[in-house]
Amino acid sequence: MDKYRVRFAPSPTGELHVGNARTALFNWMFARHHGGTFVLRIEDTDESRSALSYQVNLLNDLSWLGLDWDEGPEIDSSYSQLNSTGYRGGEEEATQSYDTIRRGADDAANKDSRMKATGYYGPYKQSERLNIYNEHLQKLVAANLVYPCYCTEAELDEERQALILSKRMPRYMGKCRNFTEAQRKGKEAAGLKPSFRFKVPDETIEFTDLIRGAMRFEGAAIGDFIIVRSNGMPAYNFAVVIDDHLMGITHVIRGEDHLSNTALQIMLYKAFGFAPPTFAHHSLILGKDRAKLSKRHGSVSVGEFRKQGILPEALLNYLGLLGSSFTDGREVLTREEMITGFALERASKSGAIFDEEKLHWLNAIYIRNRPTEDLVKQLNPFLEQAGYKIGEIDYAWFNQVIDLVKNDLTTLAEIGSHIDIFFDGRYAITVGAKQILEKESAVQVVKVFAEYLKTAAGNPQEIYLAAIKYIKEKTGAKGKDLFMPIRAALTGCVHGPELDKVFAILGKDAALKRVKSFTG
């Protein structure tokens, strides 16, 4: 077995939160750094909260980020079609592909042959592993390490309230632990379906966390916990131990909010006689107020950032920087550099504050450095959103526009406001530009500019330079008084990209048409 097998085990109960994406990234970097295996497991046993659409989005978001998994629900070849078509964000479309995939994944014959060929550890969705959990429950029942509990929600709540009132720690006090067989039969006869609780031993649980060091929990403070619910579904702590063991997971890397679960999980490892993996609990992402990052802080899901036009590389890079540091303190890193420089030991113990401005700063760098032709492809959905008809764009010309404006973009979603000046149908005079063009001296500059353009011919760059020289000579205008009127007339705005480049992209005729409209 591989020396390094890690897993990301999301529950498909909502959109992929950046905190979870960061957990996935840490696991992925760890696996890639050590040449190990990155497993994706879907923890979908909470039927009331799990949804297929969330699963689909989860897989799509991970693929979009480039966090490729070696084993997981997509293992069937049909799944790779989803990845190769790329994520377009259409839920319906994605759901369809996923259904096709599921049919492949459910094909038992496929699984068998794969298992023989590659050492298959699936299925990778917990809802497809229920028989495995049941077998394991029977082992604990046979060893008398668990017991059926018939307490109702109301009874449990009453117990909890009483403990809180008497200032004791709320936990299950073991009411059903020592029921006689007759008492159990009585409950069953009354139609009660039991959950199963683990008999928590009165002992100290100790383990060494790779990030947090020595950890210690007292069994005496922990109540007997549910491992299988009354509806037959396994509880998280139970399923996760069985899966991590059977899937050969060597390192469990997850958020510190799972630290107390780890104590329970170690008890179950012992009960089964399994060797526990190594644990590493990283800090959580916090908002500026140091509370756990949540919706009230703003955007928190990978999907939201994708829709805003954050590039996957920028988000990945940013999440990698959060709460971990790379050897040489550099901040703009390629995936390969992140993999090489990653060390769990360097992950910070304290929470990392999510700074959207820094994410935007990184995004701007990635946009600027992206080859224009690739960027244009990524921009298409955002252009459509801004009301542009993709089919009508002359891309040979449009690439020049993007080449010029990409230096000023922070997100892809801003594209419309940066390119409108190049399209006659969208070009409009702002209040600021109008004010400039009301001055007599400005009208003069624009008039002379128009006059020059009427007869000019040749290369637009040369025409522009010569026109400027001509206007200077004729009007005596210079600096702002020269360039602002030209900018205002040409672009309708008071700020924007370099004028000579704007002129060259517009071309002489289009420029003249705009300028002429101000000459009365």
* Window 458-497: contact mask with ligand GLU (x via CB under 6 A): ----------------------------------------
9 lines the binding site for ligand GLU (CB under 6 A): yes
Q: Which is nearer to ligand GLU, 11 or 475 (CB)?
A: 11
Comparison of 125 and 487: residue with beta carbon closer to ligand GLU: 125
Q: From the CB of 340, what's the least distance to ligand GLU, in Å?
A: 25
Phi, psi of 227 (to 5 degrees): -110, -30
What's the one-letter identity of residue 447?
Answer: K
- Min CB(427)–ligand GLU separation in Å: 50
The stretch among 4-12, 140-148, 199-207, 275-283 that binds ligand GLU (CB under 6 A) is 4-12
Helix (H) or strand (E) holding 352: strand 352-353
Which residue's CB is nearer to ligand GLU, number 253 or number 463?
A: 253
Tell me whether residue 46 or residue 331 sits nearer to ligand GLU (CB atom): 46
Q: At what angle do helices 499-506 and 480-491 cross, to 10 degrees?
A: 30
Beta bridge partners of 203: none
Q: Is the peptide bond before 312 cis (omega within 30 degrees of 0)?
A: no
- Return d(Cα 228, Cα 413) in angstroms, integer: 47
Rounded CA gap, 144 and 103, in Å? 39
Position 11 contacts ligand GLU (CB under 6 A): yes
* Number of chain positions touching ligand GLU (CB under 6 A): 7
- Beta strands 278-282 and 352-353 are unpaired
User: Nearest-5° angle of CA 243, CA 248, CA 251?
Assistant: 95
43 touching ligand GLU, by CB under 6 A: yes
Question: Left (φ > 0), alpha (ψ -120 to 50) or beta: where does 316 sit?
Answer: alpha
Residue 243 touches ligand GLU, criterion: CB under 6 A = no
Whole-number Å distance between alpha carbons of 196 and 136: 12
Is there binding between residue 254 and ligand GLU (CB under 6 A)? yes
Q: Smallest gap, in angstroms, from Cβ of residue 233 to ligand GLU?
A: 13
C-beta separation of 11 from 43 below 8 A: yes
- Interface with ligand GLU includes 240 (CB under 6 A)? yes
- Under the binding rule (CB under 6 A), the answer on residue 258 touching ligand GLU is yes
CB atoms within 10 A of CB 436: 22
Region near ligand GLU per CB under 6 A, out of 7-15, 47-55, 284-292, 314-322: 7-15
- Tell which one of 4, 5, 6, 10 touches ligand GLU (CB under 6 A): 10
Instruction: Say whether residue 126 binds ligand GLU (CB under 6 A).
Output: no
DSSP E strands: which ranges in 46-156?
146-149
Binding residues for ligand GLU, rule: CB under 6 A, are 9-11, 43, 240, 254, 258
